[in-house]
Chains A and B, each alone.
Chain A
Amino acid sequence: MNAQVQPSLPDVDESLRELIRDMESGGAVTTFRAVKLDRRGFLKLTGLAGGGLVLGFSMSRESEAAASAAGGEFAPNAFLRIARNGSILIYNKGPEIGQGIKTAFPLIIAEELDAKWSDVKVEQAPVNPAVYGRQSAGGSRSIPDSWDQLRRAGAVARQMLIAAAAAQWKVPAAECTTADSVVMHGHRKAAYGALAARAATQPVPDAATVKLKERKDYRLLGKWYSGVDNRAIVTGQPLFGIDQKLPDMKYAVYQRCPATGGKVRSANLDEIKRLPGVRDAFVIEGNGKATEVMPGVAIIADTTWSAFEARKQLKVDWDDSAASKDSWTALARRAAELAKLPAGELPVANVGSVDAALAGSAKTVSGLYTYPFVAHAPLEPQNCTAWKHDGIVEFWSPTQTADRAIELVAGALGITPDKVKINQTRVGGGFGRRLMNDYMCEAGAIAQRIDVPVKLTWTREQDMAHDFFRPGGFHSLTGGIDAQGKLVAWRNHFITVTQDGKSPSSGAGWAGNQFPGLNLPNYQLTQTLLPIRTPTGPWRAPGSCAVAWVIQSFLHEMAVAAGRDHRDFLLEVMGAPRLLEGGLNTGRAADVIKLACEKAGWGRELPAGHGMGLAFHFSHAGHIAEVAEVSVDGERRVRLHRMVVAGDIGPIVNMSGAMNQCEGAVVDGFSTMLGLEITMENGLIEQSNFHQYPLLRMAQHPRVEVHFIQSDNPPTGVGEPALPPVAPAICNAIFAATGKRVRTLPLTREGFTA
């Protein structure tokens, strides 16, 4: 196509695509990425930890644990420390973004340690991927990527405690058992605290071969636990990035060009510097990367208030000649024209012969599905504290990717990674927004200009204007049914967005092996790319969060056209139990579909104006089916009465956390499909705050019921996979209630309201 030639940000988008690939890697398989630590690594860690904090060793054969046993403590690795008095300190290595990992990770360690949960205190670990391995939260990968590493960290410690007790009692270690932080043999008992000093002198067993528990022997996992920070949160303790306070700290704002890609020609800096409380104001050229530092004006002041007030007086003459001119209405108009073409210019997947199968079908159905851009809108706006001191730059950052941030920030600041130190704060909502660390790079750039700590805080409006949005998209579909009512052909022309003109923008692609690509005899997926400049990125279940709605809605359209029960039709398409490339296990899928329907009472009589809708989606290694019950009144007011979620994500770590993620995903998915959209004209984002981006409120929240099939399959995270089925289940229920097929989101575009 004759794409308008625009300067693009291909390198930026490539890094985001790589991030998504990383997050989605191993969709079906858990990989063990424990990092062994040598003496140099140990010194590096303790150096980083500073302040006399002795963490101990990572999982190493080297029997150096004694070195860390000062004061009779037992610190077999970097994850835990047992004091003489029996208190157990466990370090949570991953970013806590509200998904509950600060509770879940320590539970996994405590389970294999056979610790009493009330003995455990949790602290956030230093950021040091050389010691801890992955320190990111994204792609629902925290649990699967760290499951083995954390279990082995606990099991190593347990084995050393047993060895200590066995040596003390002169009995074989194999005859000793453990429970509730106690080693036992016959009538003898020794508490872990009493064994700590002796355990520290035991040889460290090989983490790779240490014995792990079987699921049936779990004492802690799968039960209901409150979050370890809950009390601190409800009593308003300063846990979050935005709460950080350091002595002599100053406060900064940073004004970027409202349209992506604009540069500063000039600004009224002298005037700004004379304003009350303002310390400095200056232009930052930046490196032009949306994921690092875009051009803008920084203001440093004594208080956040002074900085925000000064920003209101800021006048910048922007050179927006090369800035984004993106227009949602123009995109949608162009897509509607392109949708008339049966196929796009880029083939993605082709199975069988779709054209022949459609020609031979007893019935065909066609439709154009459209979904908008959406924002992450975390309640804690982007912020970061940075302090240049003693030859390093130190950060206090609410980031989802603490590990990746080290090199990224170093590169943006032109320093080496060893000069970057990151402290992980709690994160007031991620949803994928904080996989990017642009606000960290900005804070680092501002901190270069001042010798005291400085906290950069974005306003809500800046947060909404400078997001990496979930990209909008358009799917032109045709499906065919044979004389027996079987789905035999599926053709999808996916019109999506691109930054580089060659491949979909971050979060805007769709793989050919996604359902139902490998389930049908004839399947074709093609793409057409429309160029944009607006940054896009991963949004809770990237790709799936939008495309699952298209697929599961259209599948229901086909079931209706075939005159078949949706449940039976979906199970037929799923087919015999088998593992497909990409990780979808059709047997596990069928099981959760049946469970969701059973719990919801699929097929039962409903009151007038009510309807029930079903959807299934596999993403992030999670198999999830959902059944929605909605009612629609004469004014097209939609009410979601109940959502039944049935999931198979392997064994559950914290039942409260897992259910909470599903409950939250239902609210987020409903909120988004009901009334949220980001539009842009002339490169400017049209929504600025929650009055134009109406997140769901308490009065509209549905009753959510969650059921898990627990299995010995590798565990996966559940931050994301419960979200994609929400919108199609609701739209299918709306069809059941009203006969109206929703093909455009949000629902408000189709005349529905809450």
Chain B
Amino acid sequence: MAGNICRCGTYQRVRAAIHSAANQVMKGQTTRGKA
């Protein structure tokens, strides 16, 4: 994500979303995680 610009400055939430998605994948809670 380092190359992306968010002009409205939502980096904190984007980062939180990445962690949230990563955790779900780890726990097998997403389709991809289960596959």
Contacts and interface: CB of A to CB of B under 8 A. Distances in A.
A429 B12 CA distance: 18
Interface string B1-35: 11111111111111100000000000000000000
B4 A377 contact: no
A111 B3 CA distance: 41
Contact of B9 (A377, A378, A668, A703): A668
Contact of B7 (A378, A660, A665, A703): A378
Contacts of A660: 10, 13
A726 to B, nearest CB: 11
A663 B9 CA distance: 7
Contacts of B14: 698
A701 B12 contact: yes
29 contacts: A98-B8, A377-B7, A378-B7, A429-B8, A663-B9, A663-B12, A663-B13, A664-B8, A664-B9, A665-B9, A666-B9, A667-B6, A667-B12, A668-B7, A671-B9, A690-B5, A695-B7, A696-B9, A696-B11, A697-B2, A697-B4, A697-B5, A698-B4, A698-B6, A699-B2, A701-B9, A701-B11, A701-B12, A703-B12
A184 interface: no
A231 B10 CA distance: 16
Contacts of B2: 697-699
Nearest to A234: B17
Contact of B10 (A664, A690, A699, A703): A664
A690 B10 CA distance: 18
Q: Pick the most buried of B3, B7, B14, B15: most chain A CB atoms within 10 A of its CB.
A: B7
Given A663-B9, A671-B9, 16 more contacts: A377-B7, A378-B7, A379-B7, A660-B10, A660-B13, A663-B10, A667-B12, A668-B7, A696-B9, A697-B4, A697-B11, A698-B1, A698-B6, A698-B15, A701-B9, A704-B12
B9 to A, nearest CB: 3
A429 B7 CA distance: 8
Contacts of A701: 9, 11-12, 15
Contacts of A378: 7
Contacts of A429: 7-8
A666 B5 CA distance: 15
Nearest to B15: A698
Interface in A401-438: 429
A660 B10 CA distance: 7
Interface in A657-706: 660, 663-668, 671, 690, 695-699, 701, 703-704
Contacts of A695: 5, 7
Nearest to A666: B9
B9 A698 contact: no
Contacts of B4: 697-698
Main secondary structure of the interface of B (DSSP, over half): loop
Give me the 10 closest cross-chain CB pairs, A-B, nearest first. A667-B9, A701-B11, A664-B9, A379-B7, A698-B11, A664-B8, A98-B8, A429-B7, A695-B5, A698-B1
Nearest to A668: B9
Contacts of B7: 377-379, 429, 668, 695
Contacts of B8: 98, 429, 664, 668
B3 to A, nearest CB: 8
Interface of B: 1-15
Nearest to A429: B7
B19 to A, nearest CB: 13
A666 B12 CA distance: 11
A667 B5 contact: no
A695 B3 CA distance: 11
A28 B13 CA distance: 32
A473 B19 CA distance: 42
Nearest to A98: B8
Contacts of B6: 667, 698
A198 B12 CA distance: 48
Q: Pick the most buried of A98, A379, A664, A696: most chain B CB atoms within 10 A of its CB.
A: A664
B12 to A, nearest CB: 5
A743 B10 CA distance: 29
B7 to A, nearest CB: 5
A660 to B, nearest CB: 7
Contacts of A379: 5, 7
Nearest to A700: B11
A701 B15 CA distance: 10
Q: Pick the most buried of A378, A698, A701: most chain B CB atoms within 10 A of its CB.
A: A698
A696 B6 CA distance: 8
A698 B5 CA distance: 8
A98 B15 CA distance: 19
B31 to A, nearest CB: 16
Q: Pick the most buried of B2, B5, B13: most chain A CB atoms within 10 A of its CB.
A: B5
A711 B22 CA distance: 39
Contacts of A98: 8
Nearest to A378: B7
Contacts of A698: 1-2, 4, 6, 11, 14-15
A378 B6 CA distance: 10
Contacts of A666: 9
Contacts of A704: 12
A363 B10 CA distance: 44
A378 B8 CA distance: 9
A378 B11 CA distance: 16
Contacts of A663: 9-10, 12-13
A703 B13 CA distance: 10
A671 B5 CA distance: 11
A546 to B, nearest CB: 18
A379 B5 CA distance: 9
A540 to B, nearest CB: 11
A377 B5 CA distance: 11
Contacts of A697: 2-5, 11
B1 to A, nearest CB: 5
A699 B9 CA distance: 12
B13 to A, nearest CB: 7
Nearest to A697: B2
Contacts of A665: 9
A699 B12 CA distance: 10
B30 to A, nearest CB: 15
